[in-house]
Amino acid sequence: MIRQNSQQEDLMAINRATLLMILAMLLPVALTGCSRRETFDRLEQLEGKEFAILAGSVCDRLVLEKFPHAKFQYFNTVADEVLALQTGKVDAVALDEPILRVIAKRTTDLYLFPELISADRYGYAVKPDNPGLRDAIDQTVNELKANGRYDEMMHRWFSGSGGQVEIPDHVSDGRNGVLKLGTAPVTEPFSYVDGSGRIAGFDIEMAGQVARKLGKRLEVVSMDFGALIPALVSNKVDMIGACIIITEERARKVLFSEPYYTGGMGVMVKKASVVP
């Protein structure tokens, strides 16, 4: 089976089932004491408002392209972003639309605007001096698309059918060593901690297929999103993947694979203002 770094033990206590239960319990208390925020029914109303942003992401820059006068608060986890929105500390959350779609399906008080504020491409990243690994990633994605398994993966992780998703066991015997994947498991359905405390998701399964192609055993190393590129540059991991948007600035530091997913930045707000 895929080996996962011991750091995930710290994450097991906040798996998604427990997290949702905590949020549900906190909500009634939070609503009685939080600051008042406006109600928004049009995306344009968010100009000059305050957004929750995942630290280390490029969400703030994408928001500024749409709302030049926006303000920001930064958080290390998506759970903290959502809680800040629910408790009135921010007006909105800006994040990758597939992640917000998962959250919207599990909460009754939040609304995801149907419009995207950007169109983005997602890729894995490796060190600039490791083009061979980049090529292996691209070849793996192309092969999976050609044989239909990419579509199967898309349905498995993005259909929103609910329940725990199992990664098929197509793992290498590791005869050629270990492939270390750095990931931030806060980006469901790309990378997250499932109900059993394992790190799962589309990015994890795809990385496992890359490892299999190379005859290596995948080792998953969890960290904050903002630590991904520094960890790669300092040789702590071989590749990184966690719903990472390909940008020119990032491409000056790392070598990106070809895009394996095309999506965009979404915006989530509360459905109703707080009643005093």
**Whole-number Å distance between alpha carbons of 21 and 78:** 15
Query: Over the stretch 175-199, which tens digit does the pLDDT of each residue have?
Result: 899 999 999 998 999 999 988 889 9
Task: List the domain boundaries for the chain.
Answer: 16-119+265-270, 121-263
**89 has pLDDT over 70:** yes
Q: State percent of the chain over pLDDT 90.
A: 71
In this prediction the pTM is 0.77
Q: How far is CA 264 from CA 105, 120, 143, 204, 224, in A?
A: 18, 5, 25, 20, 21
Give the C-alpha separation, 145 to 135, whole Å: 15
Domains 16-119+265-270 and 121-263 share a fold: yes
Fold classified for 121-263: D-Maltodextrin-Binding Protein; domain 2 (3.40.190)
Q: Of 213, 212, 199, 209, nearest to 242 (Cα)?
A: 199
Instruction: Count the Cβ atoms, other than its own, within 10 Å of residue 170.
Output: 11
Query: Per-residue pLDDT for 42 more than 70?
Result: yes
What single-letter amino acid sits at 74? Y
Contact by Cβ (8 Å): 120, 264: yes
User: What mean pLDDT do residues 193-208 have?
Assistant: 92
Q: How confident is the model at residue 156 (pLDDT cuts 50, 70, 90)?
A: confident
Could you say which of 3.40.980.10, 3.90.76.10, 3.40.190.10, 3.30.70.360 is the CATH number of the domain covering 16-119+265-270? Answer: 3.40.190.10
